[in-house]
Chains A and B, each alone.
Chain A
Amino acid sequence: MASRIGVERLSPLEPVYRSGSHGRFEDGVEVALSEIRPGSIVQVTAWPGEEQSAAAAIRAVTGLNMPDGPGGGVVASDQHAFGIAPGKFIVTVESEGLVAALVNAIPPAMGAVTDLSHGRTIIRIEGPKAEWVLAKFFAIDFALPAFPLGAGRSTSHHDIFAQIQRTGADRFDICVFRSFARSFWKALCHASAEVGYEVQ
């Protein structure tokens, strides 16, 4: 992926990311896997009592209007935001440089802004069997009424932390630590093989 810096950013999935159909796809491909490579992944921490102001600051910078409440989130075409913990939000946008804009919008008295653009990898799973495949990894309820569109969940698969946002009716974006990304990707491919998967 080219960046403002002009130097290609290397994905941790590079050598194992094989486009095409895999697994038992003869009967149809029931999930699609891909890596989303936003320019910016930023964590915003609001001090207690400043959550609303931080949400307003995020809205001012990105236009994303985050709903209140635990795990609340919002999805726009190429930018996403959701709550991962009390007073903590993950904001992703396609362009680089979000961190600087948020640092300007969020003064030290309101909260802290942490750049994770290189530190997290976002893997997308989409398709009619997305919930089925994710249920192999995570003990959380993926059904739409329990996990509404835009909402986020913080959970883990054994040693791998995952922050998951539902970005579509049958689409989830899974945010994992970069160092674990390849391991998780391989496990996800393995688990998807049964239903046939396509890497986009």
Chain B
Amino acid sequence: MAQFDPDRFRDPALAAGLVARIARLAGRPAALMEVCGTHTMAIAQHGIRGLIPASITLLSGPGCPVCVTALADIDRMIAIASLDGVITATFGDMVRVPGSAGSLGRAKAGGADVRTVYSPLDALAIAAANPGRQVVFAGVGFETTAPTIAATVLEAERDGLGNFSVYPAFKLVPPALEAVLSGAGAAVDGLLLPGHVSAIIGTGPYRFIAERYRTPCAIAGFEPLDILEAIALLLEQRESGRTGIANEYRRGVPEAGNPEALRLLDRVFQPVDAVWRAVGALPRSGLGFREPYAAFDASRKFPVTVVPAPEPEGCRCGQVMMGLARPDQCGHFGTSCTPSRPVGPCMVSSEGACAAWYKYGVAA
């Protein structure tokens, strides 16, 4: 395979052409929601807002896996991490996300054994190397991440690693989009759909959006030209009234997604009702273990109880994630809430809207 050359997707002349195409379609104001946290970051990093007409508003959606993890789930992961003999393995982002009191990082500084890994297979290696201890993987992520973790669980089963388990806090993107469109989120004129998630699930699971809600949709890659073209496609759908799922990211997203990954996912996990942080419970919006794999479910293995806690006072992460507020409309933003001392999860994650606005100095 030829090496990917990002410069092809950052060509100033092509960008200018797309910007002109967008400008022609931007007579009426439009609110477009980018669902994926990686899009949120890319838009801020490349200064896309400064290139397109002011009549186009880009809103962030519920697409940052760390951000949407329920407070109670974080508190439970911290409680499990603090048990004797437990090693918690987690992706880096989760370490700093504040629970109701502290974070995994704080628990680590206080003596808990919390290790950052870059692949769930690393967690499996830790389990193999520490047979006398329990290794718990913090299972956070969307359809992109969950198949790898399903594969890891199958490998743990094959290797007989009974000391490995996963705390399942996975989320599914389409149910969250349904929640946004059915009134829990901002009114949007188009959805910029996530490239990575779509590479797994394909285009089918989004069809209800075009059919039932008649909202323009475009699956987009993560380079500046990808995003500009997807914006143009969304505005063109609005203009023509013919809504569908445009696939701008054909180099990464086949129509059927990744059947092998979906098979793995379905073998180990099943859809369950799940609580989204600061949003609430959404039906069949998460993934839980299927019964044959219950032994790998850390939430059953370590039945800790945590006291239900309210969201941090004044934190507007929930509204930010549903497109109902801009990060800079939160009273904490940039003052009492910064990436060094985050109040809410959107300021922590490298995919969080508040972190993107702060890091790249986005101004409304």
A and B bound?
A: no
Measured CB to CB, the residues of A under 8 A from B are none
Measured CB to CB, the residues of B under 8 A from A are none
